[in-house]
Structure 1
Amino acid sequence: MLRLSKMTDYAVVVLTTLAHADSALHTANSLADRTGLPMPTVQKLLKLLARGDLLQSHRGAAGGYSLSRMPDRINVVHIIEAIEGPIALTDCVDGGSGGCGVQSLCSRKNHWEKVNSAVRRALEDVTLADMATPALFDFEREPAPRAVLAG
């Protein structure tokens, strides 16, 4: 199963909160309060996101954190890589650990590179602005509940 860590999910929560902040600075405390995440988790995320160049840290009495760029300039790949490192579906693709014991004998590497690139492109197409926009009910997929008329 391909699954992102909880920390990456929490990073999206923190970043979407900041995306709605209209360039206001937020402290770790205010972000923990607004998101409901534990303070140590928020502090760790802020450090990782700042190191990943997604946040700016502003020091001083009126300091805090803000997005380093507009939400439409941050994509999901940026977020994942700031928290988890390079996207690599297998060990043999670019960004993988290269720990495969049969890599020299395997003819699948090029195919996995193609899959890894497709996943990466799909994630690059989704921005923080997209993630911060409330999802609308998709009438194509899910039938609307039927009204029951009292008779």
Structure 2
Amino acid sequence: MLRLSKLTDYAVVVLARLDAEGGMQTAPCLAQCTGIAEPTVAKVLKALAHTGLVDGLRGARGGYRLARPLAEIALSDVILAVDGPIALTACVDGASGGCETEATCPVRGRWDPVNEAVRGALASITLADLAGPATRTCQSHGRTAAASSNPLPAMPASLAAE
């Protein structure tokens, strides 16, 4: 089964919550709002900041904010930020040394079109597509914005069960 990591799933949740809250948000605030453990939120934010998906600001009024709107962030960008290059097999895009049978493999190099199709599909989906309409705000750490009539659950049901 092809499955994204939990960290990528959490990153999407954190980015959606950053959008819903607006402005600067701290890792503790985001952890409380999403139900994701604070160390995990901090790890996700660090990876997202390293790749420029969020901006981080240190200090008393510091925190994180989106570097660009959700509509401009492709799902593939988040996967790359958290999990690294998107590939279904080790022998993708001419890579070598990742498989013990590469010298005799009859399908070597034939996975590249499949990998490109998967990357293209993931690049065509934005986080705005996943996040849906604006959501209510979290009433933590004194940082709130106007509430919406369409509240988003703190965490997707798929994550709550894990």
- Which residue identity does 2:43 align to in structure 1? K
Give SS of 1:121's match.
helix
Partner of 2:31: 32
State the AA in 1 paired with 2:70: P
Distance 1:119-1:5 versus aligned 2 partners, 3 A rule: same
Q: Secondary structure at the match of 1:14?
A: helix
Counterpart residue type for residue 6 of structure 1 = K
Unaligned runs of 5+ residues in structure 1 are 135-151
Alignment of 1:90-109 (within 5 A): 90-94=89-93, 98-109=97-108
Cα shift at 1:100: 1.2
Using the alignment, how far apart are the partners of 1:110 and 1:62 within structure 2? Answer: 50
- Counterpart for residue 137 of structure 1: none
SS state at 2:87 partner: coil
Structure whose CA Rg is larger: 1
Change (3 A) 1:109 1:66: same
2:131 match: 132
Q: How many residues align?
A: 133
- State the TM-score, normalizing by the size of structure 2: 0.76
Q: Structure 1: how far apart are the matches of 2:103 and 2:87? A: 18
- Unmatched 5+ stretches in structure 2: 134-162
1:104-115 pair list within 5 angstroms: 104-115=103-114
TM-score by structure 1 length? 0.81
SS in 2 for 1:110: coil
RMSD after superposition: 1.7
User: What residue number does 1:41 align with?
Assistant: 40
**Aligned residue number for residue 10 of structure 1:** 10
Does the aligned pair in 2 maintain the 1:80–1:87 contact within 8 Å?
A: yes
Q: Does residue 122 in structure 1 map to residue 125 in structure 2?
A: no
**1:104 offset after TM fit, Å?**
2.9
Cα distance in 1 for residues equivalent to 2:33 and 2:80: 24
1:106 Cα deviation (Å)?
2.4
AA paired with 1:130? Answer: D
In 1: Cα distance, 2:13 partner to 2:94 partner:
26
**More displaced 10-residue stretch of structure 1: 71-80 or 99-108:** 99-108
